Structure 1
Amino acid sequence: MFRPDIKEDVFDGPPDGPGSGMSVQMSTAGIVHDLGNLIQVASSALNHLARDPSIQAAPALGPVIAGAKTALERAGGLVRQTISLARESHAEIEYTNVGACLAEIETLVRSALDANIGLELRVGSDLPLVRCDRFGLQNAVLNLLFNARDAMPDGGFISIDAGLASANSAASQVDIRVADNGIGMTSETMVCAFDPFFTTRSEGLGGVGLPMVKHFAEQSGGSIDIQSTLGAGTTVTLRLPAMR
């Protein structure tokens, strides 16, 4: 598909020359732009589906369609954010309410979990705002939740806990822990867990989620940590700087 916003001259220069950065940047923006088009098509289809009388006569489908529409709206927001970054626009520092973000994620993700997977959200009282992008935080937690779900093919339990980091921390920070009681990881897998495109899955989109979460954490001035025991589950801790 021809896109008038992408010009031929941005690809000048050899692959490792001065033009390569712009080439990769525009290529990424083009892919994301096309994803945005597909999201619009899917959103339109869902809107038509929601108006179908047979769907309206089945109340149980309402929350499922609403969850799918919310997911597509968030995907559209991510597309816009990615294109903005590709243009090298620098957003102002943003502070985010962790409890509100996680409550939205809990509502969104429940429709994507099987009936044999339990989910519990616990948020500490009077948490300070954290210094990060709101959509970035929600996308990071979604990645962790879907990893936890995939680690429990026979069902299990996922918990999300948010609270102040331990008193030993050098600065005011908030910890967000996503824990599951799934298959866990070997020590060899944990060493490579954040390597781009490393995956133990034979299919799907493995090898992208955790590196993206790590990039988000470090870009926000925070960190990420994994604790896992083979056969007993995994806990991932996302630590973000709090507003002083």
Structure 2
Amino acid sequence: MSSLQVDESIFDVQGNNPQGGLALHISTAGIVHDLGNLIQVASSALNHLGRDPNIATAPGAGVVIAGAKTALERAGCLVRQTIRTAREIEGVISNANVGICLADVGAFVRSAWDENIRVEVCVGSNLPLVRCDRVGLQNAVLNLLLNARDAMPDGGLISVHAFVSENSKGVDVRVEDRGIGMTNETMVRAFDLFFTTKGEGLGGVGLPMVKRFVEEAGGSIDLKSILGSGTVVTLKLPAMH
């Protein structure tokens, strides 16, 4: 993986924003820069492991290493995407093939997760391209899959369905689990940044990020959950015209 260098000046705050905003953006630039360096180190370590004949021939090692490499590649894409956004050089409207995106994410999680978690992906026929960034869509679905997995500590099935929306103006991507579900109080705050029912870890970020991604693409997100029965999250994405 090539070196990922970040020029902190691209995160300067324009206009009359307060100095605190400038400090926050410079701090963000530093975090992105350090993430890029850590990704390089981890990627190099995986390449080294892959060349070790004792490890390469171990049962299942190839699949695990491939899954880890895919995760690092996605992390690298996130770093580059952050830089592009900060520089405001998008220019061309992004579009994504939902079927390909879901197939990639499904293959990735199946190679990395335990066998007690099953992921079923079903994609309707003749889906139009959707108006969003491909990597952003994959990361949004991955966030939902991670939440679904955490909601099923004993394992189970996660279903991912993509189909043309009822108004035929877009594509709906539905992620459904049969996990512990949410209370009404939790659902009300599910999209609040940093709100989490998890005792530890990086909770409270995934769903707000998914919501932001969908709304920036011009779509919407729908959440339904029943305590003890599971959760269904639907991303409603606009089609490219």
TM-score, with normalisation over the residues of structure 2? 0.91
| 8 Å contact kept, 1:29–1:86 | no
**C-alpha displacement at 1:19, in angstroms?**
3.4
Question: Which residue does the alignment assign to 1:201?
Answer: 198
Matching residue within 199, 208, 212 for 1:211: 208
Gaps in structure 1 of 5+ consecutive residues: none
| 8 Å contact kept, 2:144–2:207 | yes
**C-alpha displacement at 1:5, in angstroms?**
4.0
| 8 Å contact kept, 2:6–2:29 | no
Question: Which residue does the alignment assign to 1:174?
Answer: 171
**C-alpha displacement at 1:232, in angstroms?**
0.3
**C-alpha displacement at 1:29, in angstroms?**
1.7
Task: Report the CA distance shift for 1:85/1:26 in structure 2 as closer, same or farther (over 3 A).
Answer: farther
Q: Distance in 1 between matches of 2:209 and 2:135?
A: 13
Equivalent positions of 1:128-167 (< 5 A) are 128-166=128-166
Equivalent positions of 1:81-120 (< 5 A) are 81-120=81-120
Question: Which residue does the alignment assign to 2:227?
Answer: 230
When the two chains are superposed, the root-mean-square deviation of aligned CA atoms in Å is 1.8
Q: Distance in 2 between matches of 1:117 and 1:74?
A: 22
The reply to whether residue 35 of structure 1 matches residue 32 of structure 2 is: no
Question: Which residue does the alignment assign to 1:67?
Answer: 67
Q: Distance in 1 between matches of 2:88 and 2:22?
A: 11
**C-alpha displacement at 1:173, in angstroms?**
1.2
SS in 2 for 1:95: coil
**C-alpha displacement at 1:59, in angstroms?**
4.1
**How many residues end up aligned between the 2 structures?**
233
Matched to 2:72, the amino acid is L
**C-alpha displacement at 1:20, in angstroms?**
3.4
| 8 Å contact kept, 2:97–2:128 | yes
Matched to 2:92, the amino acid is E
SS in 2 for 1:93: coil
Matched to 1:162, the amino acid is A
1:151-174 deviation digits (Å, cap 9, x = unpaired) = 0001111000000111xx3x6010
Matched to 1:49, the amino acid is L
SS in 1 for 2:233: strand
| 8 Å contact kept, 1:26–1:86 | no
SS in 2 for 1:96: coil
Matched to 1:188, the amino acid is E
